[in-house]
Amino acid sequence: MKISVVKVVGLSVLVVLSAFLGALGYRAWRPHQQVVAAPVPAPVVAPPDDATISIQRERDWYRYFYSYYGSMERYRQTGHVDQRSRVYADAIGEFYEIDDVSELALCPAPSDSLVTSQAIYFGARVAFLSQRSGGPIMYSMSYLGSADWIHGEEPFDAFWPVTSGSQELSAADNAGLAATVLSAHGSSAFNRGDLQYFAPISFNVADANGDGDDDFWLGGRLVLSGPDGYALDENEDLASKEVSFLDQGSATWALVANRDNIDVFDPGSIGSGPVASIPLEAPLSTTRSFTVMPVQGGTMFLAVTDGSVDVYNLSTGWAADRVASLTGFQTGELFAGAFGDFTGDDVIDFWLSESRWKNDEGEIVGRLMLIDGAAIASAGKVDVQDLARTTLLGSTRYSDYDGISATLSPKAGDLDGDGTLDLSFTGHRHMSEAGALFVLPGTALKAGAMSVTDPSIIKIVGQPVSQLAPYYNHMDLGGHIIVAADNDLCSGLNAGAIYDVTIPESPRMADR
């Protein structure tokens, strides 16, 4: 009885207290009743404006680069190793430092800025143009890819005679071609695929107007040699398209990648429309940077679909037969390069680069595969792993987030002059963002699996955080290699530079 009174009194107190708190704005307490919160409308948040997005991107950019600059400088001054300098510190004993084996060939106009329109990432893309007389000319330009917000309003491009020795560019050297294409067609003219990799030039050069000097494509616009230097062709019909030269020696054609077919143009009369249209057995990929790549002296081309690399053999009248379909690729970058006869049968072979390839542990290490030019003509449907003569794998020893083969030389050279072709390839963000250049001597080439850690591979590391070898190409010039470092500091933060590297005769004796 007594207990019941206490219960009643207690309940009454709680009810009174609840009413009191309710009067003060607190939610009423109700015995034995589950409190169900009223749905709270989602707060209305305005989407960030462009300025806010830009500030956030710049902040992320600063944070990323400065963390690496800081770590690498601390490592160099004190030997202290942290998470960001670890890869560099662990592996540096296997590498020649670029300062010891190269000249700084070209610095862009000095930049006094941080990450703004003046920070130009010079050398982000380069094309090497053979000339009728003298050595090749290099066309080089600043970045206009997935982060073109950094300086998209102010691209810088220049021509440079490769054999002229060291020099510094000035603002007056700006060729202005990239700026013209950008203002006419926007940055999308330069970007390819889902990742918006920036792919205007690559290995894609040929003499289209027959004057003996190579010409090239820039955002789908033809850039032609002439008595007064290079100039943009006025025809804009192919602007923003993926266009590849098909150089057959006796004639040069332009292949325009559409999804289900390839249109063939005469580059001398683009305005007349296509001379042929090649239907494809399977549609081209919409996610890759390159989808059409001529091989075998223009008698074949590779067509990259979402699941395969199809190989078509061309015959008269633009009939094209699919002779092979290579499967087993992952997503991400995929391109062919380092053309040359590696197998000794006088048929041109090539290497396929998959720089974002992940190993069984899910680590991005990248891989390079040597494709036998004779075997591909009758390969049929085959996993590329079964067709490849050699598969060269990258290693987390030299980078824990970047794969090998960001770049290949368009043609493989004989760098040591021993009569066998040597393979040069790079790791753009290897070695804690320094970037790396690798040379596999032809004599050390083995069938089957190889690793970039192989002691026979000559290894060269870029300046700290200089990001040697931005995507797609460097150039073998027989004994030396021209390669860009688009984050080099020679003209200010993120300014970029070009190096002329003399390849050492043998690997650095590893100090493991």
* 485 strand-pairing partners: 468, 497
For residues 267 and 278, is the Cβ–Cβ distance under 8 A? no
Question: Smallest distance from the beta carbon of 471 to Ca ion, in angstroms?
Answer: 25
* 439 closest CA partner among 401, 471, 477: 477
Judged by CB under 5 A, which stretch of 195-203, 246-254, 279-287, 335-343 contacts Ca ion?
Answer: 335-343
**Taking the complex as a whole, how short is the minimal distance between the CB of residue 419 and Ca ion, in angstroms?**
7
Residue pair 201/190 in contact by the 8 Å Cβ criterion? no
Q: Which of residues 415-474 bind Ca ion (CB under 5 A)?
A: 416, 418, 420, 422, 442
Question: How open is the CA angle 503-461-149, to the nearest 5 degrees?
Answer: 120
Q: How far apart are CA 224 and CA 126, in angstroms?
A: 16
Specify burial of residue 37 (Cβ count, 10 A radius: 0-12, 13-18, 19+): exposed
For Ca ion, which is the closer residue by CB, 116 or 131? 131
Does 215 participate in binding Ca ion (rule CB under 5 A)? yes
Binders of Ca ion in range 94-123 (CB under 5 A): none
Check residue 233 for interaction with Ca ion (CB under 5 A).
Answer: no
- Please state the closest distance from residue 347 (CB atom) to Ca ion, in A: 4
Element (H, E) at 129: strand 125-129
Examine residue 209 and tell whether it contacts Ca ion (CB under 5 A): yes
Cα four-point dihedral sign 366, 409, 197, 247: negative
How far is Cα 212 from Cα 500, in angstroms, rounded to an integer? 25
Our finding on whether 479 is near Ca ion (CB under 5 A) is: no
State the nearest-atom distance from the C-beta of 343 to Ca ion, in Å.
Answer: 4
Q: Is 505 one of the binding residues for Ca ion (CB under 5 A)?
A: no
Q: Is residue 476 at the binding interface for Ca ion, with CB under 5 A as the rule?
A: no
Beta bridge partners of 471: none
Site string for Ca ion, 362-401 (x = CB under 5 A): -----------x----------------------------
Query: Is there binding between residue 207 and Ca ion (CB under 5 A)?
Result: yes
Among 85, 102, 187, 225, binds Ca ion (CB under 5 A): 225
Applying CB under 5 A, which part among 199-207, 249-257, 276-284, 289-297 lies near Ca ion?
199-207
HSE value, Cβ hemisphere, 13 Å, CA-based, for 48: 8
CB nearer Ca ion, residue 73 or residue 345: 345
Nearer to Ca ion, 114 or 224 (CB): 224
CA distances to 157, 272, 414, 424 from 181, rounded to whole Å, are 12, 22, 36, 32
Q: How far apart are CA 481 and CA 463, in angstroms?
A: 16
**Under rule CB under 5 A, how many of the chain's residues touch Ca ion?**
18
Structure letter (DSSP) for residue 261: E
Q: What single string gives the DSSP state of each residue in 338-399?
A: EEE-SSSSSS-EEEEEETT-B-TTS-B--EEEEEPTTGGGG-EEEEHHHH-SEEEE--TTT-
The tokens of 434 are what? 């320094």
Residues in the chain: 512
Which range in 44-52, 96-104, 414-422, 455-463 contacts Ca ion by CB under 5 A?
Answer: 414-422
What is the rounded (10 degree) CA torsion for 92, 97, 101, 104? Answer: 160
Residue from 213, 233, 433, 486 in contact with Ca ion (CB under 5 A): 213
Residue with smaller CB distance to Ca ion, 349 or 354:
349
Residues linked to residue 279 through DSSP beta bridges, in sequence order: 261
C-beta of 165 vs 455, nearer to Ca ion: 455
Per-position x/- string for 344-363, each x denoting binding to Ca ion as judged by CB under 5 A, each - no binding: -x-x-x--------------
Distance in angstroms (rounded) separating the CA atoms of residues 404 and 352: 12
Nearest to Ca ion of 413, 492 (CB atom): 413
Residues 6+ away with beta carbon under 8 Å from 62: 114, 115
Distance CA 79, CA 204 (A): 44
Closest contact distance (angstroms) between CB of 375 and Ca ion is 9
Candidate ranges 161-169, 174-182, 410-418, 490-498; the one touching Ca ion (CB under 5 A): 410-418
Nearer CB in complex with Ca ion: 191/409: 409
Contact 477, 486 (CB under 8 A): no
Site string for Ca ion, 294-333 (x = CB under 5 A): ----------------------------------------
Nearer to Ca ion, 136 or 373 (CB): 373
| Nearer to Ca ion (CB atom), residue 347 or residue 382 | 347
Q: Which of 97, 341, 363, 454 binds Ca ion (CB under 5 A)?
A: 341
What residue ranges bind Ca ion (CB under 5 A)? Answer: 207, 209, 211, 213, 215, 225, 341, 343, 345, 347, 349, 373, 414, 416, 418, 420, 422, 442
